[in-house]
Structure 1
């Protein structure tokens, strides 16, 4: 027997072991994971590597013609960090910041060399700190000083205003994991519209319990966000159901791959654009423009609006979450019906039809 004859069976055996250990399907799944990994890195680093203010709303109160001139100067700053406009008086400016309608307000005192800057800590520490640093530099160039007044400060248990972000992340992760587990255990695609309805209905009590438990943790247990228990629980229930419905919809469209697509929407894309680590106004264009229209960003805005801004502006984030949830339900129901009619699904779990027992008259 030659050396070549000896090596050939060894090579064949090795390749057989490789094929046995790594199936072709597994190879493509791992390749997909690799793409998700680099998408994760690109999205998070892209969003956070160079934060900066972009057109942050600011009310300006100044005597006579000084107001319009100051507004023009602020709006002409390189990079457009501020979007300023003149308001009538300091009381109006303060109320606008307290209610969340504007992010900041500059009150110029003509009788002093010290001006007042109103900010709202509830909008996020990263944003208020950046505004304060920018306006301090602006004032120093005019040989003036700045007194900063936080008119909507974070609660004692909400360090840097990040509780809303992590609460929303937890809810959304729970929603899509619950839907994904249900899909894995009983098939990623519901076989009929009736079964799709059952799956959606099963998520309702789960979402309600999730919302309540999240509110319990941040309010009576940790004291991070207090005084708005019912509203927080309601937002949580809506978010969890939204995440579950969207996950189920993507599973109907893409099968098991839909779980990966859900990961892209909620984690890779949604989390860095949600306004957590850095406020939305500090993110690059893609994340800044899309963040408020995703469930994660809408959820963070909703919690902050409820807790710190007396629910002002709450209609927009709630509508955003509701639209995603309704779209998910419709896609799941219509998609399941169409797939069933076309005969693409033959069993509850989307797999092969069950084997029937032979009847007595069968040969």
Structure 2
């Protein structure tokens, strides 16, 4: 009876392809650590856009504070300042009282609790330096069941995970590249059906079940459906071109880069410039912004987030169909 050479099985398993995949996993893991710690380890306000009802000289002082925490636009009155916040053109407002010693700071914790807290600290420091008092008014507060306005971010993350896990499962079961456009269309149809159910489930959880984001059921449902479909379609497209590596690239985009830049735990103007620059253009950030704008800002400023989500979905559809026209990958696959 022939005896196998000791260690032959282990050597056979350590193929160049296996080692490359292990190295890829390590790089994704280290990128995850670098991205999260790099964006969150030292949050600092940078150019937070605010409206100011104040003389021009006083507004200029606000605009030139050490470290440039604020970007100030002078407006005529409190009503205009509130409108700019509601329309998402400003994150807060500083109202100087020319007939007294008590100013007012308007914040919007619905856009993110840490950002509202950062504005409060800056405002209190400014008032103290001028020997004045400060009243803080939250004009768009986060809900009682939505601490620090974090629910939107976690809702989006949950939807994203479902989208790329569905695409990953399709790739594992049926091969990463569909044999022809018709089969690619079947995968997209399956992803669309799943996205509708996933969006519905998420809306049910945050509205009638947990009451975290009540009163916007239908809008949240369809934002979720668009997000899940776009994530799934893009992951399927990446698989069609890159094979199993495409799953890792999807995780890199949607999680490693997308989560820290989304404005969830710390908002856009509290994180370093790289993450601030990319956040609005990744589905994680666009989705988080869309949900917050629906719930806390009367649906204002939804155009850009929805265009971003729609753009990713369209890109995924087109690229998957193109990828299905390329030479079929080797190996046994199942038609899905």
Larger RCO (alpha carbons 8 Å, 6+ apart)? 2
Cα distance in 2 for partners of 1:50, 1:90 equals 33
Unaligned runs of 5+ in 2: none
Q: Please list the CA deviations of residues 178-228 of structure 1 after superposition, one character each: whole Å capped at 9, or x if unmatched.
A: 011011100011111111111111111100000000000000000000000
Residue number in structure 2 paired with 1:107: 95
Residue 86 of structure 2 corresponds to: 98
How far apart are 1:14 and its partner, in Å? 4.4
Q: TM-score, normalised by structure 1?
A: 0.88
Residues 15-164 of structure 1 aligned to structure 2 (within 5 Å): 15-62=7-54, 67-164=55-152
Deviation at 1:165, TM superposition (A): 0.1
Other-structure match for 1:8: none
Contact 1:188–1:252 (CA under 8 A) maintained in structure 2: yes
Query: What CA deviation, in whole Å up to 9, does each residue of 1:52-107 have, x standing for no partner?
Result: 11111111112xxxx21122112222332111011011121122223332111111
Which 4+ residue blocks in structure 1 deviate beyond 6 angstroms?
none
Q: Comparing 68-77 with 269-278, which one deviates more in the overlay?
A: 68-77
Residue among 184, 197, 206 paired with 1:209: 197
The whole-number CA distance in structure 2 between the counterparts of 1:13 and 1:278 is 56
CA contact (8 A) 1:139 1:146 kept: yes
Aligned mates of 1:353, 1:23 — CA distance in 2: 20
CA distance in 2, matches of 1:252, 1:21: 25
Counterpart for residue 238 of structure 1: 226
Per the normalisation by structure 2, the TM-score is: 0.95
CA-to-aligned-CA distance 1:110-163 (integer Å, 9 cap, x gap): 222110000111000010000100110111011111100000001111011000
The CA distance in 2 between the partners of 1:331 and 1:71, in whole Å, is 49
- Unaligned regions of 5+ residues in structure 1, if any? 1-11, 355-363
2:330 equivalent in structure 1: 351
Aligned-pair CA distance for 1:353? 7.2
State the superposition RMSD in angstroms: 1.6
State whether residues 35 and 260 of structure 2, in contact with CA within 8 Å, keep that contact through their aligned partners in structure 1. Answer: yes
Give the 3 Å change call, closer, same or farther, for CA 32–143 of structure 1 in structure 2.
same
The yes-or-no answer on 1:251 pairing with 2:239 is: yes
The separation in 2 between residues aligned to 1:176 and 1:232, in whole angstroms, is 19
Q: Is the 8 A contact 1:139 1:145 kept in 2?
A: yes
Q: Which structure has the bigger radius of gyration?
A: 1
